[in-house]
Amino acid sequence: MVTAEELAYGMERESVAKGPLEIFEGGGQVVTDRDDRQTVGEPFVDNPRVSARNVNVYYDEKHAIHDVSLDLGENEVLAMIGPSGCGKSTFLRCLNRMNDTVASCRVTGKINFDGEDINSPKIDVVPLRAQVGMVFQKPNPFPKSIYENIAFGARIHGLARHRYELDEIVEGSLQRAGLWDEVKDRLEQPGTGLSGGQQQRLCIARTIAVSPEVILMDEPCSALDPIATAKIEELIDELRKQFTIAIVTHSMQQAARVSQRTAYFHLGDLIEAGDTKTVFTTPRHRLTEDYITGRFG
Amino acid sequence: MQSTTLIVVLLALSAAGFYMGRRKAFQVSGNDIRTLNSLPSYYGYYTAMWCGIPALIVFSLWSMLDGRAIMAMATSSIADSGVSAQEMSLVYSEVLRFVSGSTIGEPQPHIVEAVARYRELQDTSNAALIVIVLSIAIAGTAFALGKIRRDQRVRNSVEAGVMVFLIACSTIAIFTTIGIVLSVLFESIRFFQKVSFTDFIFGLEWSPQTAIRSDQVGSTGAFGAIPLFAGTLLISFIAMVVAAPIGLMSAIYLAEYASARLRSYAKPLLEILAGIPTVVYGFFAALVVAPFFRNTGGLIGLDVSSESALAAGLVMGIMVIPFISSLSDDVITAVPQALRDGALGLGATQSETIRRVVIPAALPGIVGGMLLAVSRAIGETMIVVMAAGLSANLTANPLEAVTTVTVQIVTLLVGDQEFDSAKTLAAFALGLMLFLSTLVLNVIALHVVRKYREQYE
């Protein structure tokens, strides 16, 4: 649920220009020592969409994620930040079982999506991935036309019985991704011919075309220039009204701009989670403070 | 023998030139090689190139031309005595035979004289060649050494030399191809002077026996190539019907489903198929597969001849499986994982991902592999010689014996043949047609692949 405070914060954000960390002022009270790896803050929310409990991930013998418990609330953007190799992408990929494609990867713990354990043998991974969509770090449009890129998901899930229904899905998705006006005259041209930012918005449109409930974004802007990044950030803010979004990012400014809650990962541990404003202005863990003040990262 | 020694000496001189050039470079740099324009070894290569290359060029030109010049000089007295050009070529070959000592019998006096003169001139020429080549080598070395200065841009010269060498290599390959095509073309033109082009292209009957003596009966010869091309197409078609699905499916399994461990064993095993000599496939087809088909056909009341297109095509299909599977496996593996993740992330199943994303992305490479297999099948000879038979039937029935273009080329040229009869020359015409049809096939395929690429990349 969105708290009143979050709403107020969101409004405040609207009014302030999209600066980096300056939107938050005031110093924090650091309470937890560097060596303590217990999660501090508020990793849990009321009525979560996705809730992960005691998730451990192993690549062969390597223990990549240690006992992470974190909730993803309805219609919120959760940003996951942390230095490279801290396990934030791995955790994200657990949420729609994309780690199944990595042969050496083993996941333990419980991840509930709408109250059901997604790792249970009863769950079919195909509808799960349709409900929990994913946008990847590098734009990966299929080598097909723009139209076919969007229609792909609708076709494999049988969402449209007639051509006009498919047309509606394609147009609607492109419009929600803010790409319609740029590509409406060249839907038959290859999606790979678009610019990087357009390709990424195409991938987002492709994801929302199958009407997911949760969208996972793995550093969606890291391959893009600042203007394309700004467009995607606007889009994320817009999409929050309909979807629940988890975004991994290397840019703290981006996390501060687009998210309502932030989770800070460090070497496979979830160090701190909570309201974005709180995490950035009054971090409770020494490591979080070190990271957001740029002492390492 | 003598030229081999000369070349070895030249190489040794070039090696010496390399060290001299490098040492000179050290000297002019005052032992600080940073002041040089290029690394010292480049000065070495520069000197070695000036030593070896001009000398080698002179050497090869000389060797190419001296035989003819010496012959002309040795026989000039005979030529002056008013002998016709045709007789002169006889004189040339006779002189050559005596020089190499491969003839018994008493030569005519004017030949003896020419032979003696020829030997004398050859000795002079060889001596002159050694002197000239070695002095060019030494002069080149001296010239290069003299030019070595600090700011001499030898790196550029050496790189240019390397480029010229590479161009020469590719030119050799291209000109060899052109040469082969031209020789086939000229022989084919000779064939078409004897047999009309339309009879060859559109003729429905192939029976290449021509009369050797005028009183021979019943061998008028018919050179209609249609049955041969029909047979080739039939067998290649059967081969591709066998190989394309099996090869592609096994490639998909290997690339997408098999574990890395299984793949590391299965792929080389599959590639062993490509290493089996075609003659082994041939007798496998002739002694195992063809009789099996004949017997099975007999059981169900079909009349299968003991040499059938089906047997040859089937075995040929098995032979080309590795071409398709191995190449397709490579291109499928090369499709970026990001594309698979994208499709899986949208909730596509593995087979949907493969069918709708991976295979379309890999299609140009897969088509390439298929075409390689087709051209292998069209050009394949040994299996068809053994298993498909020699009778040029014009039929679409795979249970009958057919023959192919390559098989007929083999039978036309095996054994003692006269090289001006239509029968022998027909082999060249067939070869030309085969070459042209593969060429057209490749051009079409390239076009298709390029069109596909433009659309999607």
Region A140-145 average pLDDT: 90
pLDDT(A8) > 70:
no
- Residue A286 within a domain: yes
- The verdict on residue A27 lying in a domain is no
Strands A244-248 and A214-218: parallel
For B53, the enclosing helix (H) or strand (E) is helix B40-74
- Residue A25 inside a domain? The answer is no
**Rounded Cα gap, residues A246 and B305, in angstroms:** 70
DSSP designation for B101: T
What does residue A240 show for φ and ψ, rounded to 5 degrees?
A: -55, -30
Closest residue in B to A158 (Cα–Cα):
B348
User: CB of A224 within 8 A of CB of A208?
Assistant: no
- Domain of residue A215, residue span: 4-13+37-292
Confidence band for A13, pLDDT divided at 50, 70 and 90? very low
Structurally, chain A folds into a number of domains equal to: 1
* Minimal CA separation from B341 to chain A, in Å: 8
CATH of the domain at A90: 3.40.50.300
CB-based contact B341 A136, cutoff 8 Å: yes
Q: What is the pLDDT of residue B223?
A: 85
Q: Least CB-CB distance to A96: which of B338, B342, B345?
A: B345
For residue A297, being part of any structural domain is answered with: no
Q: What is the phi/psi pair of residue B420, to 5°?
A: -120, 5
Secondary structure (3-state) at B5: helix
Q: What type of residue sits at position A72?
A: L
Long-range pairs for B196-199: beta carbons < 8 A, 24 or more residues apart: B199/B223, B199/B224
Q: Which two three-digit tokens encode residue B184?
A: 């086939």
What is the pLDDT confidence band of residue A297, given thresholds at 50, 70 and 90? low
**Secondary element (H or E) of residue A133:** strand A132-135
Looking at the domain assignment, is residue A60 inside a domain?
Answer: yes
Residues with Cβ within 8 Å of residue B248, at least 6 apart in sequence? B324, B325, B328, B366
Asked if residue A242 belongs to a domain, the reply is: yes
In single-letter form, the type of residue at position B323 comes to F
3-state secondary structure of A95: coil
Is residue B408 classed exposed, middle or buried when 0-12, 13-18 and 19+ CB atoms within 10 A define those classes?
Answer: buried
Give the whole-number percent of chain A exceeding pLDDT 90.
47
Nearest to A81 by CA among A243, A289, A231, A282: A289
Query: How would you label A138-176 residue by residue, b for 16+ Cβ within 10 Å and e otherwise?
Result: bbbbbbbbbbbbbbbbbbbbebbeeeeebeebbebbbeb
**B348:A152 CB<8 A:** yes
Residue A77 falls within a domain, yes or no?
yes
Q: Mean pLDDT, 10 residues at a time, over chain B (457 residues)?
A: 84 93 87 82 91 91 85 79 76 79 72 83 88 93 88 87 94 94 92 87 81 61 85 92 94 91 89 87 89 88 83 92 89 89 91 92 85 85 84 82 87 77 86 89 77 57
Could you tell me if residue A273 is left (phi over 0), alpha (psi between -120 and 50 degrees) or otherwise beta?
beta
Asked if the structure places residue A23 within a domain, the reply is no
Mean pLDDT of chain A: 85
Contact B345 A136 (CB under 8 A): yes
Chain A residues in contact with B352 by the CB 8 A cut-off are 156
Mutation site, A156, A157, A200, interface B, largest B CB count within 10 A = A156
Q: Do A206 and B342 touch (CB under 8 A)?
A: yes
How is residue A89 written in tokens? Answer: 């992408």
Q: What is the pLDDT of residue A11?
A: 43
pLDDT of residue B14: 93
Q: Which long-range contacts (CB under 8 A, 24 or more apart) does B84-89 make?
A: none
Contacts A133 to B, Cβ<8 Å: 345-346
Residue ranges and CATH numbers for the domains of chain B are 2-152 (no CATH), 222-456 (1.10.3720.10)
Dihedral sign for Cα atoms in the order A9, A15, A21, A26: negative
The rounded distance, in Å, linking the Cα atoms of B311 and B291 is 9
